[in-house]
Chains A and B, each alone.
Chain A
Amino acid sequence: MGWVTRRQLMNLLGALTVTVVLAGLAFGLPAWDRSLPADRPVSAGAPYRITDGVTVVPPPGAVLDVTGTRPGDDQGSVLFRIGPVRYAIDVQPFDGTLAMAATRLRQRITGTPGYQVTGGQFAVATGTGLRGLQGGYTAPGRGGRYAAYRAGPLTIEVTISGAELDLGRTLPAIEASARTIRYVGAT
């Protein structure tokens, strides 16, 4: 009789098989996800539908990142990338004031370790008449802008983040895109 019986060996093999399947779920699926391209081209100048009532015209040179894009009926999100800069818009039902919407967004940003808002907020408006509040924030190695708008029963949250140099280069186009956010109400 050896040190390890056949029964013990089979038992260990079973446990290792369980471990391999778990590893496949925890590491294999993310690896598969990473191996697939996330970017999709978007039509320049054409409005992109985020929810049934909210659209935005993407900035020139932007691509759609499908991992951060979930269009919906009354809530949805879209993530564009211009090089290394992220430009995200989230639309959610909300029944508070504009100030409350902006505070909520600020608190979510500062809730991430290392993230701090810089300075105060100032009023902004889209070209379609939506009023909002805008501010800035910093994170290690990154900077960002945020803006919150109120539109009907919704809040529209815009966050832009990237390295300061990249932001400086792309912000004008992104802010021009943000001014195209349109709310036409649920259809």
Chain B
Amino acid sequence: MIAVRPAGEAPPVRPSLWVVLVLLALGAVRIGAIGVRFADAYPLATLVAVGLFALFAVPFWLFLAELDFLEREPVRLRIVAFAWGALVATTVSIPGSAALENVVAKLGSPTLAAGWGAALAGPAVEEIAKTLGIVAIVLIAGTQVNSVLDGVVYGALVGLGFQIVENIVFAVGAVALAGRGDDVRPVVATFLLRGFLSGVWSHTLFGALAGAGVGYFVVRHDRPRRLRLAVAALCAGGAWASHVLWNSPLFGDGLGNGAFALLAVLVLKGLPPLLLILWLVRRAHDREADYYTAHLAGLRDPDLVTDAELAALRSGSQRSAARWHAGHRAGRAAGSAVRRLQHAQARLAVDLSRGTPTAPRRAEILAERAVLRRLGHPEAVPGPRSWRRFASSAGSTVLAVAVVWAALTALGGA
């Protein structure tokens, strides 16, 4: 069974690249014009909105980088995916969604459009526009999409770009609606609502699901074409359905008032798709990890990778724990050396899968191994469970819960 195919070399320039670049340029002009208009009318609020939501993107970007650790996608392609969501998908969705909502009002009724317009129009237009971004990545660099996980990463990046720009537009729109001039309070309220409370189960998640489908279609050539198409359609449909559920008026006022009621609505609408998609992503990640670590295991050379390091390489949390353990036991230099060693081991696995020369990677690994031996920490493995690490994680979790609770109270529970 082919869960992953060998990672491709840099692809030759394809005609689709130029088409995609033109589309990105057109999107940049359109979104840039909107940005200039915002900055002209509400300079401070626009600046704060851009700053807050740019910061909001950082943890998502880092999470995706860690998810994509073993066979990392080229930075240029990741930027293209993000830019597609931010510039092209948004440019298309703004007029398309508004028009479709009007059509719902015209063919149905204004009452139907008021209740279900956002659920019927937005997801239909936006999910198509975003999924086309993943298709565009396949067209310009199909050899780079060599696992379902790669589709997940590109889909999530398209969704992230879309989410950031959409949130900025909503935030500045809230400033205009408030009618208090260049006031940042509506921006902060939008950030709490659309960032903290709805940010996790939003476009990044929907894009990841659609991306998994495209990845499956591109990679699983061992399966009949009809089945691959069905899986891709099912994933795109799942992304659409998750989006419809989120935008729908269901439970709109059915659970009462207060922070608990708001939390219950968020959980009811957001948690099922989140859990489903995280399960799929975990499976895709594990399959990719199995594929690449199997190549490393075949080396049977503990100087290059030990059995315990192989086990750690398979999991993001274990990789992170190994770095933390090295830093805690042998200092910051050891933590950095473990990070570099893990990267070199991952690149060696990719080279082995491609059948390309591995000598430079082996030299890198041996150099880092020598550094670690000199620092008295020869093996990049997680240590025993540490109360400090546990306390650090627990503290971060408590802080995150407190921030979410404060946001819930401010927005719904007051």
A72 close to B114 (CB less than 8 A): yes
The yes or no answer to A106 lying at the interface (CB within 8 A) is yes
Nearest CB of A to B15, in Å: 4
B113 close to A70 (CB less than 8 A): yes
Residue of B whose beta carbon sits closest to that of A29: B99
B100 close to A29 (CB less than 8 A): yes
Q: Give every chain B residue within 8 A of A29 (Cβ-Cβ).
A: 95-96, 99-100, 103, 125
Q: How far is the CA of A30 from the CA of B91 in the complex (A)?
A: 13
A107 close to B114 (CB less than 8 A): no
The yes or no answer to A108 lying at the interface (CB within 8 A) is yes
Residue of A whose beta carbon sits closest to that of B135: A18
* 7 more A-B residue pairs beyond the given contacts A33-B99, A37-B106, A66-B102, with a C-beta to C-beta distance below 8 A: A11-B14, A19-B23, A22-B23, A22-B92, A25-B93, A66-B113, A104-B179
Which chain B residues in 1-53 approach chain A with CB under 8 Å? 14-16, 19-20, 23, 37, 41
Q: Give every chain A residue within 8 A of B179 (Cβ-Cβ).
A: 103-108, 111
The yes or no answer to A8 lying at the interface (CB within 8 A) is yes
A36 interface neighbour in B20, B92, B103, B132, Cβ under 8 Å = B103
A14 close to B95 (CB less than 8 A): no
B19 interface neighbour in A16, A103, A105, Cβ under 8 Å = A16
Q: Give every chain A residue within 8 A of B341 (Cβ-Cβ).
A: none
User: Is chain B's interface secondary structure helix, strand, loop, or mixed overall?
Assistant: helix
Which chain A residues in 64-83 approach chain B with CB under 8 Å? 64, 66-67, 69-73, 76
The yes or no answer to B80 lying at the interface (CB within 8 A) is no
A71 close to B20 (CB less than 8 A): no
The yes or no answer to B139 lying at the interface (CB within 8 A) is yes
Q: How far is the CA of A69 from the CA of B128 in the complex (A)?
A: 27
Q: Given the interface contacts A70-B113, A105-B179, does A36 sit within 8 Å of B136 by beta carbon?
A: no
Q: How far is the CA of A163 from the CA of B313 in the complex (A)?
A: 70
The yes or no answer to B356 lying at the interface (CB within 8 A) is no
A18 close to B132 (CB less than 8 A): yes
A15 interface neighbour in B113, B125, B136, Cβ under 8 Å = B136
Q: Given the interface contacts A29-B125, A38-B102, does A107 sit within 8 Å of B180 by beta carbon?
A: yes
13 sample A-B contacts, Cβ–Cβ < 8 Å, listed by A number? A12-B16, A14-B16, A18-B19, A19-B19, A22-B132, A25-B92, A26-B92, A32-B103, A66-B106, A67-B102, A69-B105, A111-B176, A111-B179
A18 close to B103 (CB less than 8 A): no
Nearest CB of B to A165, in Å: 29
The yes or no answer to B129 lying at the interface (CB within 8 A) is yes
A76 close to B114 (CB less than 8 A): yes
A69 close to B110 (CB less than 8 A): yes
Residue of B whose beta carbon sits closest to that of A101: B179
B253 interface neighbour in A37, A70, A73, A106, Cβ under 8 Å = A73
Task: Please tell me the size bucket of the interface on B.
Answer: 35 or more
Q: Give every chain A residue within 8 A of B113 (Cβ-Cβ).
A: 66, 70
Interface residues of B (CB under 8 A from A): 14-16, 19-20, 23, 37, 41, 88, 91-93, 95-96, 98-100, 102-103, 105-107, 109-111, 113-115, 117, 125, 128-129, 132, 135-136, 139, 176-181, 253
A108 close to B15 (CB less than 8 A): no
B14 close to A8 (CB less than 8 A): yes
Q: How far is the CA of A73 from the CA of B252 in the complex (A)?
A: 11
Q: Given the interface contacts A33-B106, A36-B106, does A25 sit within 8 Å of B128 by beta carbon?
A: yes
Nearest CB of A to B94, in Å: 9
Residue of A whose beta carbon sits closest to that of B133: A18
B14 close to A26 (CB less than 8 A): no
Residue of B whose beta carbon sits closest to that of A73: B253
B106 interface neighbour in A30, A38, A106, Cβ under 8 Å = A38
The yes or no answer to A176 lying at the interface (CB within 8 A) is no
A25 interface neighbour in B14, B103, B125, Cβ under 8 Å = B125
A14 interface neighbour in B41, B102, B139, Cβ under 8 Å = B139
B16 close to A36 (CB less than 8 A): no
Nearest CB of A to B162, in Å: 13
Q: Given the interface contacts A19-B23, A32-B99, A107-B180, does A70 sit within 8 Å of B110 by beta carbon?
A: yes
Nearest CB of B to A144, in Å: 16
The yes or no answer to A21 lying at the interface (CB within 8 A) is yes
Residue of A whose beta carbon sits closest to that of B114: A70
Residue of B whose beta carbon sits closest to that of A104: B179
Residue of A whose beta carbon sits closest to that of B125: A25
Residue of A whose beta carbon sits closest to that of B91: A26
Q: How far is the CA of A27 from the CA of B125 in the complex (A)?
A: 12
Q: Give every chain A residue within 8 A of B23 (Cβ-Cβ).
A: 19, 22
Nearest CB of A to B83, in Å: 14
Residue of A whose beta carbon sits closest to that of B179: A104
